[in-house]
């Protein structure tokens, strides 16, 4: 039996995602055995400071990518939303597991958003979530929250926070869906690009691994990941400003692409949607939609990702928020 080394972060959620990938491979290819190798990333080593305080982009993937380049592991699993728009040209995202529920959710001991007390304190480490929630409840206060899922849930349970906002995918994968108090529609809270998708990364030169991963990759998740990350690329990258995008199938068989962008300086935002008859749509139509979206952002004086001064824009956002 041939052994493959799978690199992952060591959090409960990361290990659950690694187990999913391991099971998919071993079920499809019983001649292979997958060994899970835990690698500590920059984001795991510092659980106190805001992510933007020590780089922002790629803090949960850099060490895993280095392990791939040094051939210490054969492939790595990531939450797609953590993967920057640019990576080492020797690496590639070669497969995607079936998408979990991509929506953002409220955890608040059973209360709906509208039922939270006036001035309630809500925990989240995401400016994207903060600004969208403010459009729904302008009276709320926000705490920049980090830590693993159980520790964040405990802050609500013990009354330290009125609520927290998380991704449904992580809670579902850890069997914690009973803690969800409310699920937000994607036109209220547009998710982060790739939210709910597990991406598998390897060296482009490793043909054997590329073949194996392509066999277990979910075609629907792959198409959504490609389109959403294409949007990130057209707008000039992610992680520098609050942005989200999602492709969803509609009940009539069409597909809806929804994009959101906010200016961290003053909260001005733009949400627009585009319908596709076929999954993935027409590339030219999509690029024209992006051009029109960028033009409207400029008209509204909303800062675009490529105009943002690195992580400084988000760092300034949290300083102002506090």
pLDDT at position 273: 96
Residue 113 makes CB contacts below 8 A (sequence gap 6+) with 106, 133, 136, 137, 163, 182
Q: At residue 6, what are phi and psi to the nearest 5 degrees?
A: -110, 120
| Residue % of the chain over a pLDDT of 90 | 78
State how far the Cα of 86 lies from the Cα of 233, in Å rounded to an integer. 9
> Does residue 188 register a pLDDT over 90?
yes
304-318 pLDDT tens trace: 998 887 666 667 776
CATH class label, 2-97+196-217:
alpha beta
33-57 pLDDT tens trace: 999 999 987 655 444 444 444 445 6
Bridge partners (DSSP) of residue 246 are: 258
pTM value is 0.91
State how far the Cα of 84 lies from the Cα of 63, in Å rounded to an integer. 13
CA angle 193, 196, 199 (to 5 degrees): 80
Query: What is the rounded average pLDDT for all residues in the chain?
Result: 91
State how far the Cα of 73 lies from the Cα of 204, in Å rounded to an integer. 14
Residues of the chain with CATH 3.30.160.40: 232-318
Active site (annotated) includes residue 263: no
pLDDT confidence band for 294 (50 / 70 / 90)? very high
pLDDT confidence band for 148 (50 / 70 / 90)? confident
State how far the Cα of 116 lies from the Cα of 112, in Å rounded to an integer. 7
Q: At residue 238, what are phi and psi to the nearest 5 degrees?
A: -120, 180
The CA-atom distances, in angstroms, between 149 and each of 45, 153, 169, 303 are 16, 6, 12, 32
The CA-atom distances, in angstroms, between 88 and each of 27, 71, 72, 201, 232 are 30, 14, 16, 11, 17
State how far the Cα of 225 lies from the Cα of 93, in Å rounded to an integer. 10
pLDDT at position 50: 47
Does residue 172 come out as left (phi exceeding 0), alpha (psi in the -120 to 50 range) or beta?
Answer: alpha
205-257 pLDDT tens trace: 999 999 999 999 999 999 999 999 999 999 988 777 899 999 998 888 889 99
State how far the Cα of 197 lies from the Cα of 99, in Å rounded to an integer. 5
State how far the Cα of 14 lies from the Cα of 68, in Å rounded to an integer. 17
pLDDT confidence band for 282 (50 / 70 / 90)? confident
State how far the Cα of 288 lies from the Cα of 210, in Å rounded to an integer. 33
Q: At what angle do helices 219-235 and 283-299 cross, to 10 degrees?
A: 40
pLDDT at position 121: 97
Residue 284: half-sphere exposure toward Cβ, Cα within 13 Å: 0
State whether residue 8 is helix, strand or coil: strand
Q: How many CB atoms lie within 10 A of CB 152?
A: 19
Residues of the chain with CATH 3.40.190.10: 2-97+196-217, 104-190
pLDDT confidence band for 280 (50 / 70 / 90)? low
pLDDT confidence band for 319 (50 / 70 / 90)? confident
Superfamily for domain range 232-318: Porphobilinogen deaminase, C-terminal domain (3.30.160.40)
Q: At residue 106, what are phi and psi to the nearest 5 degrees?
A: -105, 130
Q: At residue 230, what are phi and psi to the nearest 5 degrees?
A: -65, -40
Q: Which of 19, 27, 46, 82 is catalytic?
A: 82
State how far the Cα of 56 lies from the Cα of 125, in Å rounded to an integer. 11
Superfamily for domain range 104-190: Periplasmic binding protein-like II (3.40.190.10)
């Amino acid at each position: 039996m041939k052994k493959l080394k799978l690199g992952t972060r060591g959090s409960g959620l990361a290990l659950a995602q690694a187990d999913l990938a391991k099971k998919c491979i071993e079920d499809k290819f019983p001649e292979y055995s997958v060994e899970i190798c835990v690698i500590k990333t920059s984001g795991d080593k510092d659980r106190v400071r805001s992510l933007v305080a020590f780089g922002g982009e790629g803090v949960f993937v850099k060490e895993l990518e280095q392990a791939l380049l040094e051939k210490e592991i054969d492939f790595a699993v990531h939450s797609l939303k953590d993967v920057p728009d640019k990576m080492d040209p020797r690496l590639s995202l070669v497969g995607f597991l079936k998408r979990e529920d991509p929506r953002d959710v409220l955890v608040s001991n059973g209360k709906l958003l509208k039922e939270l007390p006036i001035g309630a304190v809500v925990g989240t480490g995401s400016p994207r979530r903060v600004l969208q929630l403010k459009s729904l409840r302008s009276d709320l206060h926000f705490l920049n929250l980090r830590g693993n899922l159980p520790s964040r849930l405990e802050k609500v349970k013990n009354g330290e926070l009125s609520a927290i906002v998380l991704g449904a995918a992580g809670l579902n994968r850890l069997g914690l869906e009973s803690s969800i108090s409310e699920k937000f529609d994607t036109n209220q809270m547009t998710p982060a690009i790739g939210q709910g998708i597990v991406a598998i990364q390897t060296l482009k030169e490793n043909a054997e691994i590329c073949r194996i991963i392509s066999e277990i990759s979910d075609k629907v998740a792959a198409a959504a990941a490609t389109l959403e990350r294409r949007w990130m690329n057209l707008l000039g990258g992610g992680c520098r400003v609050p942005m989200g995008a999602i492709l969803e199938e509609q009940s009539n068989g069409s597909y809806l692409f929804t994009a959101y962008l906010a200016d961290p300086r003053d909260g001005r935002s733009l949400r627009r949607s585009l319908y596709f008859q076929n999954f993935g749509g027409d590339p030219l139509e999509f690029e024209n939609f992006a051009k029109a979206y960028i033009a409207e952002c400029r008209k509204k004086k909303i800062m675009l990702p490529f105009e943002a001064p690195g992580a400084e824009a988000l760092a300034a956002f949290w300083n102002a928020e506090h």
